[in-house]
Amino acid sequence: MNNVLRSLCAGLCTVSLACALPSQPVTEQPALIPAPIQYEWAVNQPGFLLSNGIKVDSATSHSELGRAAIRALMAAGLEIQPEETEGDLQVQLQANQAPAAYSLKVTPLGISIEVGSAEALHAAAQTLAQAVLKDAAGQPALPAMWVKDAPQLEHRGIMLDTSRHPISVADTKRILNLMARYKLNRLHWHLCDDQGWRIEIKKYPLLTEIGSKRKGTACWIKQTEVDNKPVEFYYTQDDIREVVAHAHSLGIIVIPEIEIPGHASAAVTAYPQLGNQDSPGFAPEVVTGWGVFTHVMGPNAFAFQFIEDVLAEVCALFPRAPYIHIGGDEVPRDQWQQSPAAQAFMQQHGMTRESQIQDYFTHLCAQVLRKHGRRMVGWDEIMCAPQLPQDAVVMAWRGMDHARIAARRDHELILCPIHAFYFNFPQSTNEEVKPFYSGLTGFDHIDWKHVLTFDTSVPGNKVIGMQANLWSECIPDMKKLEYMLVPRICALAEKAWRYGLPVFPDEFAHRLEAQTPYFDSLQLNFRQEDNAPRRP
Ligand code: TNX
């Protein structure tokens, strides 16, 4: 045993933590993803035996921090025995650490966790869960180890597109569990788009009565082929609360997205007054195909009130989201050019370009959200708005150039450049996989190595997050979703947690390979190195 671990063990003995029995020597080594910033573990030494779970004394299980630790450990899958007279677990707040930082010490006698805030307990718990190995007698054990760790980015996320292909509440929870395992802490929930509105809004019942239904769905390979299977799906407000609560139990904050003013066909179909009714050929419908569509919100009183009302309900449903996503991407100007009402609005406001209507919407959203104590986050197109509020968060998707522009303008930003973080693109080429497993065309070979090594550097310190987007045109079910997400999710998690630190793909490859038993324990249909799906 090395000196650090020897003194650790002595330290724990002096506070007479527990009467735990040491494990047999632990010969395996943990394969942690993301790799902690600093760590050491003892090889071939006894560790902490887990066959009886982790005992927690009543003082710990009655303290607020202790209870939070127990919840985090249980959510990470560890077995806890509370209310014992003597415990194996010691938890402490370390006010001088960053809120998201934690340190861990495991000895044969117990586990001690120090955190900068309760939030960090989730990461600590997941590190422990990933470090569970077998000792020489085949019993579950943690190696004696020491970890000092903190994320380099506060927003580490996955975006799920529930409009193109809905995802059930149960499946969303499974995805959240997987995210938590790798310390991802933000779910960006894309809840509406041209192909369907998926969130119940009490004040506008037609959004779901009409807007959540479409007649069929286009094939992502041959877009002209549309099936005739109706899609009808939305999350009730109770469903939303259930997902948000499950996420919270794992230390994940859900950031909802309401698309304003574009990608609005479903909303405009439900409430035509929301659109540009006087534009030629106005006949909105919930779209069955893919692409960018002309139906956008109109600059009118109904639309402005709609935004105010919808965002109010959304803020109430997502009380912990510090920022709310208002979309803002890919807004065609055709209807605004052709609508007399939109043109009159422009004149009235001294606007010379249609794009200024989008800027007006962007500012309105920021204003409404501020009233609810929230910031706004939007796709990088929102930067077109002059005097964009300084606290607006920019989600840079069109490439690193846009990320660097946002940073120069002093906006906090979240990186998800299409060239590496769009998990709807193939991990090889589409020709190398069965059609079902192909991705959208545009970019090939976005495999885990590409994700890991892609240059995401941005001068300055404005990057607050990184996420992968799972646009779901080509993701009709969980088999496909798992194939597109796993194992790239691991590379994303590593890169976000260790943002700015050097990466070593060959070393990472070993840790990734070691995840296979975990993936299999969840029955995941992950993409294997030869591109074959694990459970086709
Ligand atoms: C662009 S990325 C979109 C999505 C599509 C995606 C893939 C972004 C902000 N908008 O609406 O799903 O490309 O086709």
Distance 471 CA to ligand 1 centre (A): 7
308 belongs to the catalytic site: no
Query: In the predicted model, is pLDDT for residue 95 greater than 90?
Result: no
Domain 3-149 has CATH 3.30.379.10: yes
Name the pLDDT band for 20 (thresholds 50, 70, 90).
confident
382: tokens are 């929102």
Task: Tell me 129's DSSP state.
Answer: H
Nearest CA owner, ligand 1 atom 8: 329
pLDDT digits (tens, 9 = 90+) for 256-303: 999 999 999 999 999 999 999 999 999 999 999 999 999 999 999 999
**Rounded Cα distance, 66 and 56, in Å:** 9
Q: Is any atom of ligand 1 closer than 6 Å to the C-beta of 28?
A: no
13 vs 56, higher pLDDT:
56
Mean pLDDT of all residues belonging to the chain: 95
Task: Just give the CATH number of 155-521.
Answer: 3.20.20.80
Q: What is the pLDDT of residue 83?
A: 80
Nearest CA owner, ligand 1 atom 5: 471
Share of the chain above pLDDT 70, in %: 96
Q: What is the pLDDT of residue 19?
A: 62
Q: Phi, psi (5° rounding) for residue 73?
A: -65, -40
Closest ligand 1 atom to residue 164 Cα is: 12
Query: In the predicted model, is pLDDT for residue 6 greater than 60?
Result: no
Q: Is any atom of ligand 1 closer than 6 Å to the C-beta of 41?
A: no
The residue type at 433? V
pLDDT digits (tens, 9 = 90+) for 455-508: 999 999 999 999 999 999 999 999 999 999 999 999 999 999 999 999 999 999
pLDDT (average), residues 326-353: 98
Q: Which residue has the tokens 């840790």?
A: 511
Q: What is the pLDDT of residue 16?
A: 41
Q: What is the pLDDT of residue 9?
A: 47
Distance 467 CA to ligand 1 centre (A): 14
**pTM for the model:** 0.96
Closest ligand 1 atom to residue 395 Cα is: 9
246 belongs to the catalytic site: no
Q: Is any atom of ligand 1 closer than 6 Å to the C-beta of 379?
A: yes
pLDDT digits (tens, 9 = 90+) for 375-390: 999 999 999 999 999 9
Q: Is any atom of ligand 1 closer than 6 Å to the C-beta of 336?
A: no
Query: In the predicted model, is pLDDT for residue 527 greater than 80?
Result: yes
Number of other residues whose CB lies within 10 A of the CB of residue 7: 12
All CATH 3.20.20.80 domain ranges in the chain, comma separated: 155-521
**Strands 89-93 vs 110-115: parallel, antiparallel or unpaired:** parallel
With the most atoms of ligand 1 within 8 angstroms of its CB, the residue from 425, 471, 472, 484 to mutate is 471
Q: Is any atom of ligand 1 closer than 6 Å to the C-beta of 330?
A: yes
CA neighbours within 13 Å on the CB side: how many for 481? 23
Q: Is any atom of ligand 1 closer than 6 Å to the C-beta of 471?
A: yes
Terminal-residue alpha carbon distance, the chain: 45
Name the pLDDT band for 84 (thresholds 50, 70, 90).
confident
Distance 81 CA to ligand 1 centre (A): 47
Q: What is the pLDDT of residue 2?
A: 53
**Rounded Cα distance, 165 and 159, in Å:** 13
Query: In the predicted model, is pLDDT for residue 143 greater than 80?
Result: yes
Nearest CA owner, ligand 1 atom 6: 471
Distance 189 CA to ligand 1 centre (A): 14
From residue 328, alpha-carbon distances to 116, 136, 332 in Å are 36, 56, 11
Q: Specify the DSSP element, H or E, that contains 355.
A: helix 355-371
Query: In the predicted model, is pLDDT for residue 450 greater than 90?
Result: yes
From residue 321, alpha-carbon distances to 96, 248, 464 in Å are 26, 11, 15
Q: Which of 28, 171, 242, 330 is catalytic?
A: 330
pLDDT (average), residues 141-167: 98
Q: Is any atom of ligand 1 closer than 6 Å to the C-beta of 440?
A: yes
Q: What is the pLDDT of residue 499?
A: 98
Closest ligand 1 atom to residue 290 Cα is: 14
**Burial class, 134, CB count within 10 angstroms (exposed 0-12 / middle 13-18 / buried 19+):** middle
Nearest CA owner, ligand 1 atom 2: 397
Q: Is any atom of ligand 1 closer than 6 Å to the C-beta of 421?
A: no
Distance 161 CA to ligand 1 centre (A): 10
All CATH 3.30.379.10 domain ranges in the chain, comma separated: 3-149
Q: Which of 190, 263, 402, 450 is catalytic?
A: 263
Q: Which of 119, 193, 354, 359 is catalytic?
A: 193
330 belongs to the catalytic site: yes
Q: Is any atom of ligand 1 closer than 6 Å to the C-beta of 423?
A: no
Closest ligand 1 atom to residue 424 Cα is: 7
Share of the chain above pLDDT 90, in %: 95
Closest ligand 1 atom to residue 469 Cα is: 2
pLDDT digits (tens, 9 = 90+) for 194-211: 999 999 999 999 999 999
Q: Specify the DSSP element, H or E, that contains 157.
A: strand 155-161
Nearest CA owner, ligand 1 atom 10: 329
